Structure 1
Amino acid sequence: MDSQPTKPRLFIGSSSEALTTLDLVAGELADVASCRAWPGIFEQNKSGLASLLKEARVCDFGILIATQDDLRESRGTTQRTPRDNVIFEFGLFLGAVSPNRVFLLAETGTALPSDLNGINVSFYTLELGKHNSLPTVCKQISQLIKKLSSQSELGFLPSTALAVGYYHNFVRPLCKYLHQDGRVYLQNQSQPIHVRSFKLNVLLPADLSSNGVNDFVARYNRHHNLQAAATEMANSQKRGYPFHFRIDPPEQDLSAKVEVQLFDVPTTLTTIVKSIDLCLDSSFIGKDDNKQYLKSRELANFANVLQTLVDDDDNAKSYVEIALNIRL
């Protein structure tokens, strides 16, 4: 399953005096991330804070570069410190993105706030050949970005929680039922089809429309001649697991146990669309690259989480196929 949409987005912030260093950092990390530097993210007719908050919502990682730009006297000692706005933005991105995905890159000798005492901070020097030269430190961060990009964690948007719920409420019990009972009822038919073996195909569309997945489900089923089915009859007092269904190969004797293909598009994906609309400004009509990126990222994360859960379930791992980027 190919579930990586694009390179992750990396916000890089600094003081104006450190823009040369920022460009060096962006160059070192360009292979692993799509770098977005602070001078280019501020929008016309919006406050700087509003632009930063929006950037924190649409980025996967952040780096704030702390350089010796200011002098501060504290308890009789003069220290060289970073700009206040750099520390503020570091805290903002820590809270909005993740403490695991936001890094403070500090020039050697820079006095940092005491709140950071005891926390590992990446100190760098521009002197090449040193153990903490800027290219060396950036390589360490690059390796960490690669590692974290393949992992999932709870964030502001809900794809991780949705995937966990979908697995526990649908995929796992359906697979367990089919292994133990193996009966499927087609829509409007009272006699069950007995299942010998099955494959559950979980379909994740390449894009999520503003209406969610219902339109995609209807068109996909019509295009592939799929029939509605469930584990219980429609008038049964028991709650069945609904899905769409195809006998494959089609010439099997229905009086005996058959091989079947089951298809499902998680309707819970609609929650992702609604969450992104709430997260970002929806006051205009037209293409929004940030929304498209978030949809792609959340779909990929949903697929990754679900695949991890399926791979750890003996009832599911050989019987569930997750297909990402499905187009009609």
Structure 2
Amino acid sequence: MRKRLEQVLYLIWARIVDVRVQSRASNPGDEIIGEIKRKLDTEYPETIHQFKGITSTAQRAMRAKVFIGSSRNSLRVAEEVQTLLQLHDDIEASLWLYDPVFALGNSTLDGLFNAVDTYDFGVFVFGPDDMLVDNAQPVFVPRDNLIFEYGLFLGKLGRKRAYVIKANQSTILTDLSGITIAQYDAQNPNIHAALGTPCRQVRDAILGEWRWPLSATP
């Protein structure tokens, strides 16, 4: 296969040189691209098929793997977060509910430890899941287990790879007040619109960190 690929690349190079010489170094544009594609598809269909398979596998391996955690109450929000994050081809987001690390027979804690070792980033949806009373006033807070899961990712991956998307109506621990958190309006009936800005903020942060992994610091 390597020899055939070398032959293909040589033919491409030779054709580019030939066209550029004929056009006196002008840009051949779509004409040469179309001709090369037709030649490759016609004369080397099997090699091109194998090459596309290798390329597709490599592209998947280069994507940032993102774990999305949420409570069951906020599952619809988490699904929309997954959709919006994956608008960029460099991100592969997986929702906790459908993740194989939480398969039957595995404990939740074991699944979390496996997830921390498997994923490059973690994104957690802090919704107004439970109601508490603080100074005689009702307040809404995310689930305790969700905060614990976020803490695992934060401790292992660092604050630049663990993110929170929080409902405006949800109160969080004061210990997290120094961490930048994306927020959304849980009362907005248009969930897509409500999550547009916070998901874009998280997506940009992920891509910025993923493209420069050597500069990452906890």
2:110 is equivalent to residue 50 of structure 1: yes
Instruction: Structure 1: give runs of 5+ residues left out of the alignment.
Output: 156-328
For 1:141, give the aligned amino acid: V
Relative to the length of structure 1, the TM-score reads 0.43
Q: Report Cα offsets for 1:272-322 as digits up to 9, x if no partner.
A: xxxxxxxxxxxxxxxxxxxxxxxxxxxxxxxxxxxxxxxxxxxxxxxxxxx
2:96 is equivalent to residue 38 of structure 1: yes
Q: CA deviation at 1:153?
A: 4.5
2:170 is equivalent to residue 110 of structure 1: yes
Q: Report Cα offsets for 1:241-264 as digits up to 9, x if no partner.
A: xxxxxxxxxxxxxxxxxxxxxxxx
1:7 to 39, 43, 63: 63
Structure-to-structure mapping, 1:158-237, within 5 angstroms: none
Tell me, yes or no, if the aligned pair for 2:69 and 2:96 is still in contact at 8 Å.
Answer: yes
Change (3 A) 1:154 1:139: closer
Instruction: Structure 2: give runs of 5+ residues left out of the alignment.
Output: 1-54
2:164 is equivalent to residue 80 of structure 1: no
Q: CA deviation at 1:24?
A: 0.5
2:157 to 82, 97, 100: 97
**Structure with a larger share of its residues in helix:** 2
- Count of residue pairs brought into register by the alignment: 153
Q: Distance in 2 between matches of 1:128 and 1:78?
A: 23
Q: Report Cα offsets for 1:92-120 as digits up to 9, x if no partner.
A: 11012221111011001211012112332
Tell me, yes or no, if the aligned pair for 2:182 and 2:201 is still in contact at 8 Å.
Answer: no
Q: Distance in 2 between matches of 1:134 and 1:154?
A: 29
Q: CA deviation at 1:137?
A: 1.2
Q: CA deviation at 1:154?
A: 8.6
2:84 is equivalent to residue 28 of structure 1: yes
2:122 is equivalent to residue 66 of structure 1: no
- 3-state DSSP class of the match of 2:62? coil
For 1:35, give the aligned amino acid: A
Change (3 A) 1:154 1:93: farther
For 1:102, give the aligned amino acid: A
Aligned-residue sequence identity (percent) comes to 28
Q: Distance in 2 between matches of 1:143 and 1:89?
A: 23
Relative to the length of structure 2, the TM-score reads 0.64
Q: CA deviation at 1:128?
A: 8.1
Q: Identify the residue that residue 145 of structure 1 maps to in structure 2.
A: 206
For 1:74, give the aligned amino acid: D
1:134 to 191, 195, 198: 195
Largest Rg, 1 or 2: 1
Q: Report Cα offsets for 1:188-208 as digits up to 9, x if no partner.
A: xxxxxxxxxxxxxxxxxxxxx
**Structure with a larger share of its residues in strand:** 1
Tell me, yes or no, if the aligned pair for 1:124 and 1:133 is still in contact at 8 Å.
Answer: yes
Q: Which runs of 4+ in 1 moved over 6 A?
A: none
Q: Distance in 2 between matches of 1:82 and 1:36?
A: 20
Q: Identify the residue that residue 161 of structure 1 maps to in structure 2.
A: none
Instruction: Give me the CA root mean square deviation.
Output: 2.5
